[in-house]
Amino acid sequence: MIYSIISRSTWEQLSGENFYAPDSLKTDGFIHCSTKEQIPWVAGQYYEGRTDLLLLGIDEKVLQAEMVYEDLYNLDELFPHIYGQLNLDAVHKVLDFSPNEDGSFSFPE
C-alpha cells in the first residue's frame, strides 16, 4: 500500500467522482505518493502547521495508471509516483492525519 496526503476539503469534493487529478499531475506530470515509512518526513517537509489533512491508502494492484518508484530529487530514497489520474476505487483506506501536539507528524496507528 502507498499513501497520498490530501486535504479534507479536497477529498470531500471528490465524492461521487471516479478519478482524482491533483495539480501536481499538471505541474510535475505525476501524483506524489509515499510509503508508510516516508509519510512523517514528507508531512513535516511540506505540510507543517496543517490540521486539515487525510491520508489516502492506495492499493497499488488496483491502480489503472502507471506507478514508478523513483528518486527525482536526489534524496537517496525511492518514492512512489503515479503517472496519471488516481482511480478512486484504488483508495482502500482514508485516515485522519492530524499533527502531534508538538506539530510533528506520525503515521496514524
pLDDT tens digits along 85-98: 999 999 999 999 99
What's the mean pLDDT when you consider all of the chain? 96
Which domains are delineated in the chain? 2-96 (3.20.170.20)
pLDDT in the model for residue 65? 98
Residue 88: CB partners within 8 Å, gap ≥ 6?
14, 17, 18, 19, 20
Please say whether the beta carbons of 67 and 85 come within 8 A.
Answer: no
Q: Is 103 left (phi over 0), alpha (psi -120 to 50) or beta?
A: left
pLDDT in tens, 57-87: 999 999 999 999 999 888 899 999 999 999 9
Percent of the chain with pLDDT over 90: 94
